Amino acid sequence: MSGKPALGFLLIGTLFLLSGCLGEGLVSAGRKRVTFALVLDTRAYNGKTAYADILDTPGGTLIETVSAVFASYPNTANHSWARFTTLGEIETNHRYFLDFFIDMDGDGVEDSGDLRGIQHFDVMPNATWSETKYFSQDLEPVP
């Protein structure tokens, strides 16, 4: 007799779980416009534009090219960020790679004196925002 109420609660819990998973956009992945927020540990590049290729794997297929200007990160003394928003919708629940460069001379071209890096971003299911920190010491000068 005591096993039947427990089984009933288990079945009800399973139904809630299934309805939540199958409900409108709660767990399943979909396509969204996504903002990638690249946070640096310095404000030295505030006002500089960064250009980024969004790739599916390092060196992989180009999904889109985006750009953003570095600005002070809120409520910090020494961090900045660039917020790259896709123009089109991309799959969520996926890891993307931003192959980027910071345009130090403002000419819009990756050339000598600019700084470059690559960073991965994990986009959760149905997320419209992904943020990660990149350390300025890891930026590589473009020869």
Q: So where are the chain's domains?
A: 31-141
- Mean model confidence pLDDT for the chain: 87
Q: What is the pTM of this model?
A: 0.79
CATH of 31-141, one of 3.30.450, 2.60.40, 1.20.1410, 1.10.10: 2.60.40
At residue 19 the predicted structure's pLDDT band, cuts being 50, 70 and 90, is very low
pLDDT of residue 29: 86
At residue 26 the predicted structure's pLDDT band, cuts being 50, 70 and 90, is low
Q: DSSP labels for 23-47?
A: STTSSS--EE--EEEEEES-STTTT
Query: From CA 129, how far away is CA 143, in angstroms rounded?
Result: 33
